[in-house]
Amino acid sequence: MKNLLLGFLIIGVMGLALWTYSENYVTKQSLDEIVQLNKNIAKARSRLRVLNAEWAYLNRPERLSKLVNANFDELKLLELTSKHFAGLEQIPFRSPGIEPMVDEAEFNNTIDVP
């Protein structure tokens, strides 16, 4: 009886050692993935900073005004001022007799996601 109990204990300890080893391996692999993801995030942030700097450089007002002046014949671009917007009194509002073009049933259908 004592030998049987000792055998179960040895098998149990070996099983726990195997489980501990596998958990240790999975943990190390997860930590390596985290390090790699942090490196990827750092690279992406660096690229984003470069792209933001390029965007700011390309959208300088003096550069854009030179481009507009150089390509005015083709593009016919003008400066945007308040004169280009309509006043509130010029905006037509919907008449009460006009029916909506969209059926309400289109918005009431729900989709069940499993």
The whole-angstrom separation of Cα 17 and Cα 9 is 12
| Residue ranges of domains in the chain | 33-58
Q: What is the pLDDT of residues 58-97, one digit of tens each?
A: 999 999 889 888 888 888 877 788 888 888 888 887 777 7
pLDDT at 111 over 80: no
pTM of the model: 0.52
Q: What is the pLDDT of residues 19-56, one digit of tens each?
A: 999 999 999 999 999 999 999 999 999 999 999 999 99
11 pLDDT band, cuts 50/70/90, is: very high
- Residue type (1 letter), 19: W
pLDDT at 102 over 80: no
**How many residues are there in the chain?**
114
